[in-house]
């Protein structure tokens, strides 16, 4: 559908999701000079920043420094934030189409992959996603319970999320106390009796998904030793090609060096194991009692990539908790195409395509993990969102729109939300929540005391005294 005389109008864009990819798309739209644009950035939570707030570990405050960039984007003319507005609940796609010329899905990958082994649903078997959300005060995970009275824990997968989970479990609670960790999580971690954390990679050290800086951080913890078995870090033939990559080489060299330290003397141990796949969670009375693992060897697949092959040699680790950290996974949005195999929104260079016909859905775009799948660092989103926005501007200039916009006036969305009795949170509102959290943190000698319930956030906004 072509909209006549669009060039005389302002391009109104709704961006759904205010994590790194959403903010970067908003910035690219507002900074380009070819078409006048207004951006409304929506989030289902009252708080912005997605995984930067709810995913980045509390002891990684430097990474959260990127928020200063997002705050500047929020000041750009033409930008508005609508927090506490959930697509599919508060508002439907059709309501957006009545008000915006283009929609950008920047919804990330909110769920997680499963290991697919027997016993995975036992009590005490959790996703890393839930644990991360819990210690970060994410309202979705606030009520999760983790039995930290157990002595041994297994973390399956050796990506950077697994590093975060292991570090938070092994870290000195006094260090965490100064961060923005959720208060209830700190309390639980202070009482934790976890002494041993098995960190399980199904392939070798040359194929580890963690970054060199992240594994070194585990090796530098004040109260835990990183223990590596020298036999598991010897370089095999299949790994030579991966070892040639400088980052992989750093990872291998580091763990080979660590293996020389042996058991160490600290009270907690992070036991990093390679070529070990989980095969079964053994439970007693429905609770995790052990994890059975199989030793692997590495073989080359048809593309020459190192893959794990079971040897039939098994071992049982006596653990009371299992965290699977084997990758995030996108979840479908009502009315938006979804590739359930890949767990993302099907697209051609960010232009959403229909699941069956593969035809471009004009006017609908996708950025970030919802587009590419759950890999890459926060910084990866910049170039990615910029390239999708280029396509959006090309389409707008060519008049390639998907629908007629009945109510392009900026106040129309506000009127709609009022009629829906919704309580949208503006960026100015968020800054009030932000100030209250910082103040709460100052009182407790920590960086920030997060609100972890939506009702508390809204209550604090609407009562002059806030909540304590």
Instruction: Decide if residue 337 touches ligand NAP (CB under 6 A).
Output: no
Kindly state the smallest distance separating residue 79's Cβ from ligand NAP, in Å.
27
| Token output for 118 | 């027997």
* Phi, psi (rounded to 5 degrees) for 310: -65, 145
277 is a site residue for ligand NAP (CB under 6 A): yes
Q: Rounded to the nearest 5°, which phi and psi values hold at 311?
A: -105, -10
Instruction: Name the residue with the smallest CB distance to ligand NAP.
Output: 159
**Which range binds ligand NAP by CB under 6 A, 85-93, 188-196, 207-215, 445-453?**
207-215
Q: Using the rule CB under 6 A, is 7 a contact of ligand NAP?
A: no
* Continuous segment of H or E residues that includes residue 417: helix 411-419
Three-class SS state of 134: helix
Residue 420 CA to residue 67 CA, distance in Å, equals 31
Tell me how far, at minimum, the Cβ of 293 lies from ligand NAP, in Å: 10
* 327 binds ligand NAP, rule: CB under 6 A: yes
Q: Is 202 in the site for ligand NAP (CB under 6 A)?
A: yes
- Asked if 203 interacts with ligand NAP (CB under 6 A), we say yes
Of 151-159, 180-188, 191-199, 233-241, which segment contacts ligand NAP by CB under 6 A?
151-159
**For residues 339 and 414, which CB has a smaller minimum distance to ligand NAP in the complex?**
339
DSSP structure string for 125-171: EEEHHHHHHHHTT-GGGTT----TTSSEEEEE--SHHHHHHHHHHHS
Q: Which one of residues 149, 375, 387, 435 is an interface residue with ligand NAP (CB under 6 A)?
A: 375
Q: Which helix (H) or strand (E) holds 228?
A: strand 224-228
Candidate residues 160, 355, 391, 412; the one interacting with ligand NAP per rule CB under 6 A: 160
Q: Binding of ligand NAP at residue 201 (CB under 6 A)?
A: yes
Which residue number, 25 or 308, has a Cβ lying nearer to ligand NAP? 308
Q: Which of the ranges 2-10, 64-72, 199-207, 409-417 carries the binding residues for ligand NAP, by CB under 6 A?
A: 199-207
Contact status: 125 vs ligand NAP (CB under 6 A)? no
Burial 450-462 (b: 16+ CB within 10 A, else e): bbbebebbbebbe
Task: Report 11-70 residues binding ligand NAP (CB under 6 A).
Answer: 60
430, exposed or middle or buried, with CB in 10 Å at 0-12, 13-18, 19+? Answer: buried
Judged by CB under 6 A, which stretch of 29-37, 77-85, 218-226, 325-333 contacts ligand NAP? Answer: 325-333
| Interatomic CA distance for residues 15 and 424, integer angstroms | 15
The Cα 415–Cα 152 span in angstroms is 54
Q: Quote the CA–CA distance of 244 and 257 in Å, as a whole number.
A: 18
| Angstrom distance (rounded) from CA 184 to CA 390 | 44
Q: Least separation, in Å, of the C-beta of 262 and ligand NAP?
A: 25
Interface contacts to ligand NAP, rule CB under 6 A: 60, 115, 156-162, 164, 201-203, 207, 209, 211, 214, 277-278, 325-328, 374-377
């Amino acid at each position: 559908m072509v909209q006549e005389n669009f060039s005389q109008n302002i391009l109104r864009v709704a961006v759904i999701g205010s994590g790194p990819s959403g903010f970067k798309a908003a910035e690219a739209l507002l900074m380009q000079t070819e078409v006048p644009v207004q951006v409304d950035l929506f989030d289902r939570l009252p708080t912005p920043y997605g995984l930067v707030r709810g995913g980045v570990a509390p002891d990684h405050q430097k990474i959260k420094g990127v928020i200063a960039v997002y705050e500047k984007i929020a000041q750009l003319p033409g930008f508005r934030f609508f927090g506490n507005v959930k697509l599919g609940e508060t508002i439907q796609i059709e309501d957006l189409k009545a008000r915006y010329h283009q929609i950008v899905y920047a919804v990330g990958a909110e769920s997680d992959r499963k290991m697919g082994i027997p016993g995975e649903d036992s009590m005490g078997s959790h996703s890393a996603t839930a644990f991360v959300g819990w210690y970060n005060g994410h309202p979705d995970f606030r009520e999760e319970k983790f039995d930290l009275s157990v002595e041994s824990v297994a973390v399956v997968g050796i990506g950077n999320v697994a590093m975060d989970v292991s570090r938070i479990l092994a870290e000195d609670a006094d260090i965490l106390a100064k961060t923005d960790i959720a208060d209830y999580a700190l309390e639980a971690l202070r009482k934790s009796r976890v002494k041993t954390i098995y960190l399980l990679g199904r392939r070798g050290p040359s194929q580890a998904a963690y970054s060199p800086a992240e594994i070194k951080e585990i090796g530098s913890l004040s109260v835990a030793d990183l223990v590596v078995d020298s036999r598991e870090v010897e370089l095999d033939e299949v790994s030579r090609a991966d070892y040639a990559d400088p980052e992989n080489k750093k990872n291998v060299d580091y763990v080979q060096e660590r293996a020389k330290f042996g058991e160490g003397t600290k009270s907690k141990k992070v036991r990093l194991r390679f070529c070990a796949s989980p095969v079964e969670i053994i439970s007693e009375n429905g609770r995790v009692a052990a994890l059975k693992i199989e030793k692997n060897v590495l073989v080359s697949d048809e593309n020459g990539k190192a893959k794990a092959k079971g040897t039939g040699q098994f071992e049982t680790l006596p653990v009371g908790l299992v965290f699977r950290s084997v990758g995030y996974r996108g979840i479908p949005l009502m009315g938006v195409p979804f590739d359930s195999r890949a767990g993302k929104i099907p697209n051609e260079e960010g232009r959403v395509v229909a699941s069956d016909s593969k035809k471009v859905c004009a006017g609908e775009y996708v950025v970030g993990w919802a587009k590419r799948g759950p890999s890459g660092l926060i910084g990866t989103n910049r170039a990615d969102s910029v390239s999708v926005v280029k396509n959006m501007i090309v389409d707008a200039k060519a008049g390639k729109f998907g629908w007629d916009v009945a109510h392009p006036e900026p106040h129309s969305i506000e009127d709609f939300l009022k009629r829906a009795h919704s309580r949208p949170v503006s960026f100015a509102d968020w800054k009030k929540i932000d100030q209250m959290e910082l103040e709460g943190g100052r009182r407790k000698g920590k960086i920030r005391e997060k609100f972890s319930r939506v009702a508390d956030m809204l209550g604090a906004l609407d009562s002059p005294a806030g909540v304590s």
